[in-house]
Amino acid sequence: MSTLHLGGVAVYQQQHCLLQPLDLTLYPGEALTVLGESGSGKSLLAHAIMGTLPTGLRASGELRQGSQAWPLADAANRRALWGAQLAILPQEPATALDPTMRVLPQVAEGWRGAANQAHAQAHSLLGSLGLHAAQRHYPHQLSGGMAQRVAFAAATLGGAGLLLADEPSKGLDSQACATLAQLLQQHLASGQCLLTITHDIALARALGGQVLVMRGGEVVEHGPASQVLQQPRHTYTQQLLAAEPQAWPAIAHPAAGDWLLQGRGLSKAYGSQTLFRNVDIDIAAGERVALLAHSGAGKSTLGNILLGLTRADHGSVRYRDGLPRTAWQKLYQDPVQAFAPHISLHTALHDVLQRCGQPLASLETLLHRLRLSPDLLARKPSQVSGGELQRLALIRTLLLQPALLFADEPTSRLDPLTQQDTLHCLLDELARIGCALLLVTHDHALAGKATSRQLRW
């Protein structure tokens, strides 16, 4: 594989420019990572190179290798390169696999060489990815991490010199993310080019090479990973790096009070799969506790059991006397799903005000403190950004003066900057009313900063 040049790549919707022209050079064996928040136009780059932009969008610029050039405006001229020279790692591996076909043939069909070797090649590649046992599985029988590896095998079996990875770590837990980074490094080690598009700073750090920071369709900083991720020059990059939980300054936690809740000998299984067995948990008033485990380990289920939403197979939960039923509240991973979809936020929040007999002023104060415009309330839940809606969900629970808030991955769907902002709001408000926090997360750094005690299994 030789060096690839991309000259003046840009994407337009009619006259409106979605991705400003940019020049890139991809060297074999060196990663190039495009870093940016969602909506920064970075995904368009991968589709512009591949020639798979949605209808209505057009690309300009060209792809060059040696003396050959492919103008990007003509999407069809790169079809012949697909599989053999250009490959894309899909964003959602679970939906990118044919549900009616077994794993092995799906991977084998990516082989570009002699047809009779396809199965043997796929077989050995899957084996090297630790998927030997899954070859005869159907996609619905795979876990998220396994599906990611199968998609990787299918995309790379053809031996393409340039692999485009579009948000490859989306929806993966930290363990699967680490495996993914290894896979991508292996690909680089074999002397191929890699262009990764992500919002995951940890992944960019793991891959090294060159980093490109994008914001609003524009490149704000470009350089070697060691320099951009260690001594960023642009303020936006600095903010982005400071928003990583590892970089947060230490947060002072309030002292724990009397006991609030005691879970004893809790066990839960779904069918033959045991989630957890014999777990004891205590939470004191005002305390901040994190539940840390990889996905599928039943963290959310444990939280739901403590709140009385799910019944445990064994064990019991004791609550402190004298607290109303509404003293136990929950914040959801996806705030859009936590609001009735067809009801305006105004109605939803006023219903709660009426229910708990609070004056309108308390809502206004909270809106003001969380820097939310009252105009937002006229909208439906789906018309508000994730960060704003999560803060509105927080306000909704705060109106009830809760004693414990169970926050189930409350910021995992938010961009780093919004995550930082939302979580700090949450901690400030809980401290103000002395409410305890039970935080479910898979992010160890986040748990370390936001809570004083972490439970893992």
Task: Assess 382 for contact with another protein (CB under 8 A).
Answer: no
Identity at 452, one-letter amino acid code = S
Minimum distance of another protein from residue 105's CB (angstroms):
8
Residue 209 to residue 225: CA distance in whole angstroms: 6
Residue of 50, 63, 162, 243 that binds another protein (CB under 8 A) = 50
Q: Which of 120, 133, 269, 343 binds another protein (CB under 8 A)?
A: 343
With CB under 8 A as the contact rule, the residue among 17, 62, 75, 92 that binds another protein is 92
DSSP tag of 94: H
Bridge partners for 59 per DSSP: 11
Task: Choose, by CB under 8 A, the member of 12, 70, 82, 457 that binds another protein.
Answer: 82
Residue 69 interacts with another protein (CB under 8 A): yes or no = no
Looking at residue 334, what DSSP letter applies?
S
Which residues does residue 4 pair with via DSSP β-bridges, in sequence order?
26, 65
Residue from 2, 3, 95, 274 in contact with another protein (CB under 8 A): 95
Residue 413 phi/psi, 5-degree rounding, is -95, 5
Nearer to another protein, 356 or 456 (CB): 356
Nearer to another protein, 205 or 413 (CB): 413
Dist. CA 80–CA 254, nearest whole Å: 62
Q: Which of residues 127-166 bind another protein (CB under 8 A)?
A: 138, 140, 151, 154-155, 158
Give φ, ψ of 240 to 5 degrees.
Answer: -60, -45
Q: Is 109 in the site for another protein (CB under 8 A)?
A: yes
Number of residues located near another protein, criterion CB under 8 A = 54
Q: Which of 67, 68, 100, 273 forms a contact with another protein (CB under 8 A)?
A: 100
Q: Confirm or reject binding of residue 14 to another protein (CB under 8 A).
A: no
Q: How far is CA 370 from CA 220, 356, 387, 407, 450, in A?
A: 29, 21, 11, 17, 18
What is the chain's length?
A: 457
CB of 222 to another protein, least distance (A): 27
| 12 CB-near residues (< 8 Å, 6+ apart) | 18, 57, 58, 59, 60
Under the binding rule (CB under 8 A), the answer on residue 218 touching another protein is no
Q: Which range touches another protein (CB under 8 A), out of 12-20, 200-208, 318-326, 382-390?
A: 318-326
Contact status: 87 vs another protein (CB under 8 A): yes
Residue among 2, 13, 71, 98 that touches another protein (CB under 8 A): 98
| The three-state (H, E, C) secondary structure of 381-438, written as one string | HHHCCHHHHHHHHHHHHHCCCCCEEEEECCCCCCCHHHHHHHHHHHHHHHHHHCCEEE
Q: Is 310 exposed, middle or buried (0-12, 13-18, 19+ CB in 10 A)?
A: middle
Number of Cβ atoms within 10 Å of the Cβ of 438: 26
Does position 325 interact with another protein (CB under 8 A)? The reply is yes
Interaction mask 396-425, another protein, x per CB under 8 A: xx--x-------------------------
Binding site for another protein (CB under 8 A): 50, 52, 82-84, 86-88, 90, 92, 95-101, 105, 109-110, 112, 138, 140, 151, 154-155, 158, 307, 309, 324-326, 328-330, 332, 334, 337-343, 347-348, 351-352, 355-356, 393, 396-397, 400
